[in-house]
Amino acid sequence: MREQQTIRTPSISLMLVMAATVMVSGCAITGHEIVQNRVVVPAGAVAKVRAVCPSGKKVLGGGFDMEIPQDLRVYASDPGDSQGNIVNDGWRVMVRNEGTTARQATAIAICATAQ
């Protein structure tokens, strides 16, 4: 079962990164959100997990979290669409469960309105 949830947490380090981005690129960034999508990956399976930004927001960065790092191998963690294209509306993680038990993998996207 796929479940996507939005977590709104203030982060000083995120604000510093965002402030540096604004100074470098000259664009305005507002309303950041951290969005995640967690899936259960069956033993021996490959899964593409994607955290999608809310409508009108762009991905600034992202990452992943794994239930048992020894069982899951990460093949990709990027702002891709699993078709070889770079996109600006989410973060993708591709993992393989090399263990014998189903494990959780989570894609995490940092999203904001950027103009």
Per-residue confidence (pLDDT) for residue 68, from 0 to 100: 84
Per-residue confidence (pLDDT) for residue 4, from 0 to 100: 55
Give the tens place of pLDDT for each residue, 56-110.
999 999 999 998 889 999 999 999 887 888 999 999 999 999 999 999 999 999 9
- For residue 66, list its beta bridge partners: 105
Query: Into how many domains does the chain fold?
Result: 1
**Domain limits for position 74:** 3-114
Per-residue confidence (pLDDT) for residue 9, from 0 to 100: 39
SS (H, E, C) 2-48: CEEEEECCCCHHHHHHHHHHHHHHCCCEEEEEEEEEEEEECCCCEEE
Structure tokens at 68: 């048992």
pLDDT at 7 over 80: no
Residue 39 belongs to a domain with what CATH number? 2.60.120
pLDDT at 10 over 90: no
Of the two residues 13 and 1, the one the predictor is more confident about is 1
Give the tens place of pLDDT for each residue, 14-54.
333 444 444 445 677 788 899 999 999 999 999 999 999 99
